[in-house]
Chains A and B, each alone.
Chain A
Amino acid sequence: GAVVSQHPSWVICKSGTSVKIECRSLDFQATTMFWYRQFPKQSLMLMATSNEGSKATYEQGVEKDKFLINHASLTLSTLTVTSAHPEDSSFYICSAKVDRAGSQPQHFGDGTRLSIL
């Protein structure tokens, strides 16, 4: 159980394009989802925490107007990279918090590799 689906897995697009990434919890309800970014050979960097029905909480240094997060339902959160530029090229990973004690804090999607030309 606790499967998280992330789509698309790979995006290549031109500079200036906006890209939407979806994160779905398939068999559970996720009141909290997390969005991470990972540059090559670096660890995960938390970008924002997404709570269903409320505004996302962004980490320091993350532009909320550039990285739009919507968590409209208990099973879906979306990250939109607006007017993407080459420096936004990265591996974006979502995760969903499972609201039960013990074992795992978060279940991860498979990630989205974003390449901006």
Chain B
Amino acid sequence: GQNIDQPTEMTATEGAIVQINCTYQTSGFNGLFWYQQHAGEAPTFLSYNVLDGLEEKGRFSSFLSRSKGYSYLLLKELQMKDSASYLCAVWDSNYQLIWGAGTKLIIKP
């Protein structure tokens, strides 16, 4: 079966750095995505990785290791507005998007 694992909930302090991990086991791989979802809102796109390595985009970075089936989303200089759920999703061999259950990130002052 296809499976994506990420922690259910994480807590971090404003101004700090947090890393949200995602491991996946899918039938094929055509890319991994991170989405941010605030409560009561639709997801918004954060990043896309298809090759190994780190992609940096402002305060957010995403890393991928295809051999390990592993990715992380790194958030720096945390702000209160970063409190949200972060969803990891993988495109499988048929370009079906497989979703993780999401990680709820709680930012404390």
Contact partner of A44 (CB less than 8 A), chosen from B44, B48, B95, B99, is: B99
Interface SS of chain A: loop
Distance in Å from the Cβ of A94 to the closest Cβ of chain B? Answer: 9
What residues of B have a CB within 8 angstroms of the CB of A41 in the complex? 104
What residues of B have a CB within 8 angstroms of the CB of A110 in the complex? 41-42
A105 & B91 in contact (Cβ 8 Å cutoff): yes
Smallest CB gap from B31: residue in A: A105
Range for the number of chain A residues in contact with chain B = 20 to 34
Contacts known (A103-B48, A105-B33, A105-B91); A42 close to B101, Cβ less than 8 A: yes
B40 & A91 in contact (Cβ 8 Å cutoff): yes
List the interface of chain B (C-beta within 8 A of A): 31, 33, 40-45, 48, 50, 87, 89, 91, 95, 97, 99-102, 104
